[in-house]
Structure 1
Amino acid sequence: MRVLIVTAGSLGDVAPYTGLGARLLTAGHRVALAAPPRYAGLVTGCGLEFRPVPGDLPALRTAASGQRRLSSLPGAPGLVEFVRLGGRFVGNLGAGIATAAEAGTDLLLLSSTTAPLGYSVAQHHGIPSLGVFLQPTYPTRAFPPILLGVRSLGSWGNQAAGWLGQRLVRRVYADASRRLRARLGLPPADIADLERHAETTGWPITHGFSPAVLPRPPDWRTGLDVVGYWWPLTAADWRPPAALLDFLATGPPPVYVGFGSLADTGGELHALVTRALSRAGVRGVVQGIDAGPEPGSDAVRGIHAGPPDDGDPTGVVRPGSGTGSDQVLTVGDVPHEWLFPRMAALVHHAGCGTAAAGLRAGIPAVPVPILADQPFWAARLAALGVSPEVIPFRRLSEDRLCTAIRAAVTEPAFRHRARFLADRLAGEDGAGAVVAAVDRLAR
């Protein structure tokens, strides 16, 4: 069966589908993964066919913010930004999905970011489709919607907020859906009509997160399943850089710090992180945060970007210089599956994929959410007992980060709980559940 997985967004919205695609490939299906062009190498490096679609969220976010430090959180400011950027994000996405499907497709697997448009593409081609979501988007009484906050409003309040969240999503996708259906020659139908059709026909959606992390709500309709995580695939030829191996071997396990692809990662943030690590008395592996001089400073504090180390000609690892340089190492893209088990604690933005990788490794976390679904997953990490506290990105300070890192590293309860959850996750097979669903559709 020719299976096309379609996703859009940032790295965390793409990487989990490489592992899912690889499992489908092993099961005998022909698999292509459609995603923004910057992830072509990631996809083909995992042995999957790549097809480009628009929807590059980091590039859009950078253009919109001018590399400002982000301050969006759930609530009114975050919603305004969501609606403002959302229309641009999906503007040409429908046409891209339609073009990707024309290359030969028997089944569409659609992420939460592509389903509102991909559903019409599947209708046009007369082929089945399946939702493969990384986030819970269907309204429920069990918890508030992921984009509207992290505090429960009570059972009825949560459900009402969930319906409101769906209305906002419809607003974002409405024009793009209308244009797409006209292009495909389909009869006019607004997003609400398509959602009602999907619900009445029991359109299946598998959710790629663990029920141990977020149980399936009891009030969800039949066909909405929580099956477990889909783990990203690491390219077979990947090897850890020598400089990183040397750093890990010359001292106690360090603390990982990384804020994903949606944060302003300039020198001010780098200096704050470096000082917090030093005050906490721990070594650090810092990913994706560029060093730079502090305003008004004659010297660079923390780590200079510098040229690549001799042991890493590709520039994946950059050794530090300046204050505390022997205790902190900056790195580029290193697979979390390999890196996280070697850490003492993790400071991250709580994106769904990064949060999952930390739980899989059994390592305590200090979540620093920025926007979108990150505050939701950050709150889950705290509720699960693997994190001392959630630090919203706009409230990040040296003192607060230092205190949280020290607690995550020194208090045994966080590590014990993280290891317990890691054991639970090890017994799940989320990708296998999707393979079984695809096989049922194939029959």
Structure 2
Amino acid sequence: MRVLIVTAGSLGDVAPYTGLGARLRTAGHRVTLAAPPRYAGLVAGSGLEFRPIPGDLPALRTAASGRRRPSSLPGAPGLVEFLRLGGRFVGDLGTGIATAAEDGTDLLLLSSTTAPLGYSVAEHHGIPSLGVFLQPLSPTGAFPPILLGVRSLGNWGNRAAGWLGQRLGRRIYADASRRLRARLGLPPADIAGLERHAETTGWPISHGFSPAVLPRPPDWRSGLDVVGYWWPLSAPDWRPPAALLDFLAAGPPPVYVGFGSLADTGGELHTLVIRALRRAGVRGVVQGIGAGPEPGGGAVPGIGTGPLADGDPAGVVGPESGTGSDQVLTVGDVPHGWLFPRMAALVHHAGCGTAAAGLRAGVPAVPVPILADQPFWAARLAALGVSPEVIPFHRLTSDRLGTAIRAAVTEPAFRHRARLLADRLAAEDGAGAVVTAVDRLAR
């Protein structure tokens, strides 16, 4: 069967599908992954066919914010910013999905970011589709909607907030959906009507996170399954740079610090991180903080030279001068599956992919969420007892971060709980569950 996986967003919205695609390929399917152009190398390195579509969230984020330090959800400014960004994100996404699906597709696998438009593309081609979501978007009384960033309001309140969250999501996709259906010659149907049709027909969605991290809500309809994580596939020829190996061997396990592709990575944040590491008394591996204004864009004083963009072939930029070259190393693109198990703790933005990689490694976390679903996953890390606290990005200080890092490293309970959870994740086979669902559709 010719399977097209369609996803858009940031690196964390793309990388897990490389592992899922590879597993489907091993099962005998021909797999193509459609994603924003910047991830062509990532997909090709996984041995999958690639087709470009719009929906490059980091690029839109940079253009929209002017690389200012963003506000964080929850909070009205952060929510308004996210909704405004969402409208630009989906602008040409539907056309991109339709074009990607034209060249011989038997089955569409749609992420949460592409499903509202991909559902119509599948209807146009008369082919089956399956949701493969990294986030739980269906309303439930078990927890609040992930994009509103609110505390639990109880069973009834959570469900009401979930319906509100769906209405906000429909606003983002409404115009793009109308244009797409007109382009494809489909009868008019609003997003709400398409969602109701998916509900009544039991459209299947496999959620790629572990039930040990977020159990399946008991009030979800049949067909909404929580199957376990599918893990990114590392390029088979990747090797850790010698400088990174030397740094790891030169002292105790360091603390990883990285805030993903949606954060301002300028000098102010870098200085804050270095001060926090000093305050905690730990060594650090710092990823993607302190880079030039554009990928591959020049040196930053005290950092060394080399690009920090996704796919940096060197992988290591250099030691941080002024802190002792044996204390902090700034790195480029290093696979989290390799790096995280070697860390004493992880400071990150709590994106779904990065949070999952940290849980898989069995390492305590200090989540610093920025926007979208990050506050939700950050709160889950704290609730699971693998994190001392959640620090919203807009409230980040060197004192607070240093204190949290110190607690994550020195209090054994966090690492103990993280390792127990990692053992549970190791026994799951999320990608295998999707292969079974695809085979069922093929039959």
Length-normalised TM-score, structure 2? 0.96
Structure 1: tracts of 5 or more residues without a match: 293-299
CA contact (8 A) 1:112 1:134 kept: yes
Q: How much does 1:103 deviate?
A: 1.1
Corresponding residue for 2:296?
none
Aligned equivalents of 2:12 and 2:353: distance in 1? 5
Q: How much does 1:148 deviate?
A: 0.8
Aligned equivalents of 2:384 and 2:426: distance in 1? 17
Q: How much does 1:436 deviate?
A: 0.1
**Within 5 A, what are the aligned runs for 1:302-321?**
303-306=302-305, 314-321=313-320
CA contact (8 A) 2:320 2:330 kept: no
Structure 2: tracts of 5 or more residues without a match: 293-299
State, as a whole percentage, how many aligned pairs show the same letter.
87
Aligned equivalents of 2:377 and 2:346: distance in 1? 14
Counterpart amino acid of residue 274 in structure 2: T
Corresponding residue for 1:408?
408
Corresponding residue for 1:165?
165
Corresponding residue for 1:295?
none
Corresponding residue for 1:93?
93
Corresponding residue for 2:139?
139
Counterpart amino acid of residue 289 in structure 1: I
1:120 aligns with 2:137: no
CA contact (8 A) 2:347 2:367 kept: yes
Corresponding residue for 2:333?
333
Q: Deviations over 1:304-327 (max 9, x none)?
A: 23359xxxx944202224211320
Helix, strand or coil: the match of 2:69? coil
CA contact (8 A) 1:319 1:325 kept: no
Helix, strand or coil: the match of 2:262? coil
Aligned equivalents of 1:314 and 1:368: distance in 2? 27
Aligned equivalents of 1:111 and 1:140: distance in 2? 19
Helix, strand or coil: the match of 1:50? strand
**Within 5 A, what are the aligned runs for 1:5-404?**
5-290=5-290, 303-306=302-305, 314-326=313-325, 327-404=327-404
Q: How much does 1:194 deviate?
A: 0.3
CA contact (8 A) 1:5 1:32 kept: yes
Q: How much does 1:238 deviate?
A: 0.5
Helix, strand or coil: the match of 1:338? helix
CA contact (8 A) 1:150 1:375 kept: no
CA contact (8 A) 1:150 1:379 kept: no
Q: How much does 1:6 deviate?
A: 0.1
Q: Deviations over 1:243-264 (max 9, x none)?
A: 0000001100000000000000
Q: How much does 1:174 deviate?
A: 0.4
Q: How much does 1:79 deviate?
A: 2.1
CA distance 1:19–1:291, change in 2 (3 Å): closer
Aligned equivalents of 1:307 and 1:131: distance in 2? 39
Helix, strand or coil: the match of 1:325? coil
Corresponding residue for 2:297?
none
CA contact (8 A) 2:241 2:314 kept: no
Aligned equivalents of 1:318 and 1:197: distance in 2? 51
Aligned equivalents of 1:352 and 1:276: distance in 2? 24
Q: Deviations over 1:184-238 (max 9, x none)?
A: 0000000000001000000000000000000000000000000000100001010
Helix, strand or coil: the match of 1:14? helix
Aligned equivalents of 2:399 and 2:251: distance in 1? 24
Helix, strand or coil: the match of 1:235? coil
Aligned equivalents of 1:240 and 1:140: distance in 2? 43
Aligned length: 431
Aligned equivalents of 2:425 and 2:306: distance in 1? 39
After the TM superposition, which parts of structure 1 deviate over 6 Å for at least 4 consecutive aligned residues?
A: none
Q: How much does 1:72 deviate?
A: 2.8
